[in-house]
Structure 1
Amino acid sequence: MNRIFITGIGTGVGKTIVSACVTAALQADYWKPVQSGSEEGTDTQTVRSLVPEGITVCHQEAYVLKEPASPHLAARLEHVTIQTTEIIRQANQIQPVNRPLVIEGAGGLLVPLTDDVLTLDLIKDLHAGVIIAAQNYLGSINHSLLTAKVLQHAGVPVIGWIFGGDYHTNEEDVVRLSGYPMIGRIPFAQEVNRAFVQQQAQLLTAPLKALLA
């Protein structure tokens, strides 16, 4: 499975840090096809600053939108037309043969990219396997299991869960009830830098390669 899509159970659950760690663990390339809220900086810039230099290529986004909103709304406000066919074309163009591509989504599965296309639809069109990024908060079990059910219903292959932040036993319940394996967890850190990402990547490498074999 050479395309790995990182989705989250919601906004602000650590998708970008998970993406950086998975990218480093697999010595993969990274791509965020649609970025909104770009005036605060882009996730591509963040990942580029965190992954090992000289190994990963962080590809340019297909669409960059200033408004910090869902892609379909930001695009509407900025008079931009997002075309998922163009995203697929670029994915086919940028991905090297026999090298994984880590693709970071915007928000969760049911975030609209256009008036008619959801992030879930794009994942299916990309033929990507999914890693779900999750954190513990009040309501996170519901959000986690809803995400899992949507993926199951859509028939999308799921690689597993990566949890972030402080440990909670809810993680074990989510793994058990979803039926998807836990790949690992990324603890809270006062400073997230290249050394931290490399340390976490080393811990994720073995379980990721076993699940992707």
Structure 2
Amino acid sequence: MSERIFITGIGTGVGKTLTSACITEALTADYWKPVQTGLMEGTDTDTVLSLLSNPVSVCHPEAWRLQAPASPHLAARLENTTIDIAKILALAEEYQPIGRPLLMEGAGGVMVPVNESVFTLDLIVALKARVVIVAQNYLGSINHALLTARILQHTGVPVIGWVFSGDHHSNEEDIVRWSGYPKIGRIPLAEHVDKAFVQQQAQLLTSSLHTLMA
């Protein structure tokens, strides 16, 4: 199963990195976050690496490591650099494992600018990746979720389904119904997130992922 999975969210701070760790573990995929911003807060790659238990998955180094906790285009602008999409595409080819998925985590949502002319949505299309959308319940989340789904549908990007994070809410069923995208699963809030928690959640997601990716 050599394919690409792109983890996007309906916004910032909705659980993309934990979801990435759980799905990487579930599929023994390789993990890559092409652009990391906000280095003072640590990197998502380090977080995922610390949560994996399987001996197969590789966490690849970021192509860009930028200091400012901002969208990639702005963080790069502040450092007088530009994020080169061609480099990301070339590295994706290099990092793609044989017979296993390459899981990539984006910054924020699908309309976050990667550079001055390319949005995350454009990068997903260029990477020929399938998408997992991470959603969390908060005031306004239905709007953000359905806007994300609508633009992915409009662009024709293949979507595997939704992963909901946090406590269960009836909004989950509504979003699935209105979007037409299936629910992969839900990762609950936990006081302590460690390898055991990620391994447990990965086991719960595995069957659904394999069914929806078949």
Query: Per the shorter chain, which TM-score range?
Result: over 0.9
- 2:123 aligned partner: 122
- 2:178 aligned partner: 177
Kindly indicate whether residue 159 of structure 2 is the aligned counterpart of residue 162 of structure 1: no
Contact 2:35 2:64 in 1 (8 A): yes
Where 1:159 maps in the other structure, the secondary structure is: strand
- 1:40 aligned partner: 41
- 2:12 aligned partner: 11
Distance in structure 1 (CA, Å) of the matches to 2:141 and 2:194: 26
Runs of 4+ aligned residues of structure 1 deviating over 4 Å after TM superposition are none
Name the TM-score, length of structure 1 as normaliser.
Answer: 0.99
Structure 1 residue runs of 5 or longer lacking an equivalent are none
- 1:54 aligned partner: 55
Name the TM-score, length of structure 2 as normaliser.
Answer: 0.98
Q: Residue type of the partner of 1:159?
A: I
The one-character-per-residue Cα deviations of 1:35-79 (angstroms, maximum 9, x if unpaired) are: 000111000000000011522100000111010000000000001
Q: Residue type of the partner of 1:70?
A: S
Structure 2 residue runs of 5 or longer lacking an equivalent are none
- 2:79 aligned partner: 78
Contact 2:26 2:205 in 1 (8 A): yes
Q: Residue type of the partner of 2:146?
A: L
Q: Residue type of the partner of 1:128?
A: A
Distance in structure 1 (CA, Å) of the matches to 2:208 and 2:49: 24
- 2:68 aligned partner: 67
| Pairs aligned (count) | 213
Distance in structure 2 (CA, Å) of the matches to 1:208 and 1:54: 20
Contact 2:28 2:54 in 1 (8 A): no
Q: CA RMSD in A?
A: 0.7
Distance in structure 2 (CA, Å) of the matches to 1:53 and 1:153: 37
The one-character-per-residue Cα deviations of 1:81-128 (angstroms, maximum 9, x if unpaired) are: 100010000000111222101100001000001110000000000000
Identity of aligned residues (%): 66
Contact 2:131 2:157 in 1 (8 A): yes
